[in-house]
Structure 1
Amino acid sequence: MDQVMDVMTRDVRVVQPTDTIERAAQLMDELNVGVVPVCEGRKLVGMLTDRDIAVRGVAAGMDAKSSPVSEIMSGSVRCCFEDQPLEDVLDEMRDTQIRRMPVVDRQQQIVGIVSLGDLADRGSDEASVGEALKDISTPAAPDRS
């Protein structure tokens, strides 16, 4: 059975919690990605998505030039290990409705990132990936509280 290390993207660029929201958005633009890990050094402490920037930052009226990433990042992050079987990670992605998962070593140091696309391209069978995508894409009710 293939492991995460067989398909993950290595040498992932990260932002620090003290970096500005603007800097994080610029990095996403430069890399053409919608998510960046947030690390202190190489220790994973959070994830930041383009949606976090739009909803938690811009919509909340935060100043992107001065507000730190730590104010809008998700601090509770699901991650996996590079030696985990792909099917286990795919199941977790399906269960938690996430499309990308940071890959860490046993000291929580970031070593890569794996996406649903990585699994589709190079690892898991098409039926499993298709089912996961369907489950991940199930819309949630709007949070209007």
Structure 2
Amino acid sequence: MTTAKDIMHTGAQWIPAHETLDRAAQLMREHHVGALPISASGEQDRMIGILTDRDIVLDCVAVGHDPSKVTAGDLAHGTPRWIDADAGVDQVLEEMQSNRIRRLPVVENKKLIGMISEADLAQHLSEDQIALWVEKVYATS
């Protein structure tokens, strides 16, 4: 059985809630990623949200806020979603589809070990699986 660990990309990087969005953008550039799990300040292993490059643009820059003054924690909202490393691909797809999310942190023994993104799905799934995923995640209803 193919698992979340098999299809994820490794090297997911945390950003502490107190770090500013300009630092988050720098980390995204350095690690070639578009999302960072946000950790509770002082608690590297407790995820309070996920920050995306899109969040920085739409929820900070586009509304006239200064990314050097807004923190990752300021944009953390909702319930963070994650998947266990041993979960099967069907569980990964269900979690992403039911929550309409495009990135999913992978956790093993309560530690962040990777992230699953659209690109990872495209590399590991059949065309039919990808088409169904796109339909469910991007549906406008």
| Alignment check: 8 A CA contact 2:14 2:44 kept | no
Structure 1, unpaired ranges of 5+: 141-145
Aligned equivalent of 1:49: 52
**Deviations 1:37-61, CA, capped at 9 Å, x for gaps:** 1123233221001121122212333
Output the TM-score relative to the length of structure 2: 0.85
CA RMSD between the two structures: 1.9
| Alignment check: 8 A CA contact 2:83 2:104 kept | yes
Output the TM-score relative to the length of structure 1: 0.83
Is 2:81 the counterpart of 1:83? no
Question: What is the percent sequence identity of the aligned residues?
Answer: 33
Q: Please state how far the C-alpha of 1:18 moved relative to its aligned partner.
A: 0.7
> AA paired with 2:86?
D
Q: Please state how far the C-alpha of 1:106 moved relative to its aligned partner.
A: 4.6
Aligned equivalent of 1:133: 134
1:114 to 113, 116, 126: 116
Is 2:123 the counterpart of 1:104? no
Q: Please state how far the C-alpha of 1:73 moved relative to its aligned partner.
A: 2.4
Structure 2, unpaired ranges of 5+: none
Structure 1 runs of 4+ aligned residues shifted over 3 Å read none
